[in-house]
Structure 1
């Protein structure tokens, strides 16, 4: 075999509670920000499909876990819904939720699949959002209580925990660029949300360590390498600032225990620093993750701005750089994202050279394609494009590992075509196709390929 991966390599996929469970207002679950926003503005959601219409994991968990086994997963990530487990955010635990998550965890373990459990995947309980969401330290306290509750209930069997998935996304979507609720455009509030999320992460890390249980706790970051258009100093500086905002604003505190000095200086210059308490620095310093999940989809191409900033416009990261469309770039036309396989290697190299080579794994990588039914042959989606996408990324991942990067696994987004925030089912990502009318699941060609690759722990050229 040309590409053999390390022994005990993690082969699997990732999903989330809000995108798969369904039953979004049943079995004791309270509304999240998504339920609330869909109720208020259904027109903002693709084809008016909201968070109640996800891939029915709540009802089909056992059959779905059997499919994970068929795909030769040895690990699988999903999340717990805070709004399902503790419907009022801080008080009584919902026994129906405990029973559901116990069943899922026990069945994964029975099938030889290690559960990776994430605590927060964009799904703020609405009762917590009404208290200010991540702008509020009261909500940070409530999240710590929720984390401790999860560790107490499930920590005897779950040994791999994550505090957050892509914490920069609620910052960008909810407080800068108007693509998540609460649709605020205000950098100062965005900075406060980001800062309090890091504090919440650190508090959950401490809670896990206080529990005395075996295992590890980490965080999942979507890392988008920032490549300058050229080596001109203005382009290089622009790419560095983009990296500070979108990558290092979380990467440095969770791996180094402190923020980049030049990011702090930049925010201080524009009077955008969040309010800090004296004890915060020690909390963040002690909250360094045991394990980093890396979500990689696309690079970020950057050039210096060639026009002046409107001084009356809202303060934004784009005051300091512009996006650059590199000629000849390979694109996924459906999602509008560049496909740049080498980026996965560059991330691993950066982690190895600049962050002490942390324990990490690729926690998401994937390709969303619209109208996949046109590729159906003999009753199966013949998604050769997805096989090529995964194979080419795995080659660069293999190169990173061969050079010493401490990467322990590869999880694809996602297992079954699932509901995606405002896009519903527009782009399909799964190894398994989902018939929305019948809920029938059918393994795609990519799922068969991945199953064989996982079984062999590698693949031929």
Structure 2
């Protein structure tokens, strides 16, 4: 057994997203989002589930903040629901929505916790989707307006801002693969969505710099860097192509490097770039958040639309059949450190789905504890290598609506009984309490 230590300035937090935990989708002046609409599509969500109640945090936030504090967390990363703040997508501000988030932020500050806000975690107002959603350039400007409202109304209570969460998912899962809202399978709209999400980020940061607010602002990506399945040149190339397609189309424009040639030249994908766009996207940011869960192995397969094919791997799987590859996190941290000249990095999501069962009032999720400890080891190694890793946010604080999986998969360190909304801390919650207190060991 070897003890590892993180510095006193290392930030330990937990994370959720608005549509996944809030519920109250028809309360407080909130309008429908694309996820409310998608949940009504037959077969789109496992079990026909929806987000109407979720984990009911809208009504139970004080209870949740108290529990976070008891577990020692120093920060809570949550997202704002755009349709709760601007029900028409732009224009009129819903004061009830602002009041809810101000109350949540105040309750966190009262417990000595930092408020880490994500502006967009996928719940686009449906009224904007009716106008084309992220495939419509005007949505990027609507996002900048929404962001400006949030900066003005909440800037005094937010300690750290994130523009977008995982634009890969918003663009690819929403517009290319049809697995997430709005459920489209349209490559032409996908490339527009990629660029407009990138543009929205840049416009929001540009607006933020004009406010005079001093809290750090950045973006959260879910990088994919699959390893080559063999040493053959073509499979090494497949891994590079996969990284370019999944990750670099979002990372490189942030850094002023433009869209990767592997995507634009080899795959022939074009983006609707207008004069000045790339300069807007490449605004200076203060940090990048990294969401990491798994790593795949790939081979080159030109029969596939984007020449990449995942192949079977040997690692143990989570309850969601995601391979557990802790070293993949270290590879990504190294890559981002090199690409960004060692910008501050945060792990903004990391965790796993387990088949959690309540037994005599307890949930013994040892697989999740092992998963987390293995990833803490990689974080520690990264810091020892000089990578500027500043904090870790576990996904998720609560069991919640897991998008297309509905309520079938549980990622929380706190169990939620969806019939009663009772909260039951799992063993992983108590392990996190130890880790934050400074007791962290791995074999």
Common fold: TM-score over 0.5: yes
Counterparts of 1:7-86 in structure 2 under 5 Å?
Answer: 7-39=8-40, 41-86=41-86
Whole-angstrom distance in 2 between the partners of 1:160 and 1:457: 27
Whole-angstrom distance in 2 between the partners of 1:114 and 1:447: 19
Are 1:89 and 1:125, in contact at CA under 8 Å, matched by a contact in 2? Answer: yes
Moved over 4 A (4+): none
Q: Secondary structure at the match of 1:4?
A: coil
Q: Does 1:454 align with 2:436?
A: yes
RMSD: 1.5
Spell out, residue by residue over 1:358-389, the C-alpha distance to the aligned partner (whole angstroms, 9 max, x if none).
Answer: 1011111111123x11xx34311011111111
TM-score using structure 1 length: 0.93
Instruction: Quote the residue 1:224 is aligned against.
Output: 224
Are 1:413 and 1:430, in contact at CA under 8 Å, matched by a contact in 2? Answer: yes
Q: How far off its partner does 1:2 sit?
A: 1.4
Q: Secondary structure at the match of 1:389?
A: helix
Are 1:258 and 1:284, in contact at CA under 8 Å, matched by a contact in 2? Answer: no
Whole-angstrom distance in 1 between the partners of 2:183 and 2:411: 26
Whole-angstrom distance in 1 between the partners of 2:309 and 2:157: 47
Whole-angstrom distance in 2 between the partners of 1:280 and 1:220: 20
Are 2:253 and 2:278, in contact at CA under 8 Å, matched by a contact in 1? Answer: no
Of the three residues 291, 294, 299, the one matched with 2:290 is: 294
Spell out, residue by residue over 1:385-436, the C-alpha distance to the aligned partner (whole angstroms, 9 max, x if none).
Answer: 1111100110111001101010011111100111111212111111111111
Counterparts of 1:310-329 in structure 2 under 5 Å?
Answer: 316-317=305-306, 320-326=307-313, 328-329=314-315
Instruction: Quote the residue 1:237 is aligned against.
Output: 237
Are 2:35 and 2:182, in contact at CA under 8 Å, matched by a contact in 1? Answer: no
Counterparts of 1:177-256 in structure 2 under 5 Å?
Answer: 177-256=177-256
CA 1:431–1:365: 2 relative to 1, 3 Å: same
Instruction: Quote the residue 2:351 is aligned against.
Output: 366
Q: Secondary structure at the match of 2:367?
A: helix
Are 1:188 and 1:274, in contact at CA under 8 Å, matched by a contact in 2? Answer: no
Instruction: Give unpaired runs (5+ residues) of structure 2.
Output: none
Q: How far off its partner does 1:256 sit?
A: 4.0
Counterparts of 1:332-347 in structure 2 under 5 Å?
Answer: 332=318, 334-347=319-332
Spell out, residue by residue over 1:315-353, the C-alpha distance to the aligned partner (whole angstroms, 9 max, x if none).
Answer: x32xx1211213x22222x20110001111111111223
Q: How far off its partner does 1:274 sit?
A: 2.0
Q: Does 1:427 align with 2:409?
A: yes
Instruction: Give unpaired runs (5+ residues) of structure 1.
Output: 310-315
Instruction: Quote the residue 1:445 is aligned against.
Output: 427
Are 2:294 and 2:324, in contact at CA under 8 Å, matched by a contact in 1? Answer: yes
Q: How far off its partner does 1:172 sit?
A: 1.5
Whole-angstrom distance in 2 between the partners of 1:361 and 1:303: 30
TM-score using structure 2 length: 0.96
Spell out, residue by residue over 1:424-451, the C-alpha distance to the aligned partner (whole angstroms, 9 max, x if none).
Answer: 2111111111111111111111101101
Instruction: Quote the residue 1:114 is aligned against.
Output: 114
Are 1:53 and 1:419, in contact at CA under 8 Å, matched by a contact in 2? Answer: no
Whole-angstrom distance in 2 between the partners of 1:330 and 1:225: 19
Spell out, residue by residue over 1:31-63, the C-alpha distance to the aligned partner (whole angstroms, 9 max, x if none).
Answer: 001111223x24322222101131000000101
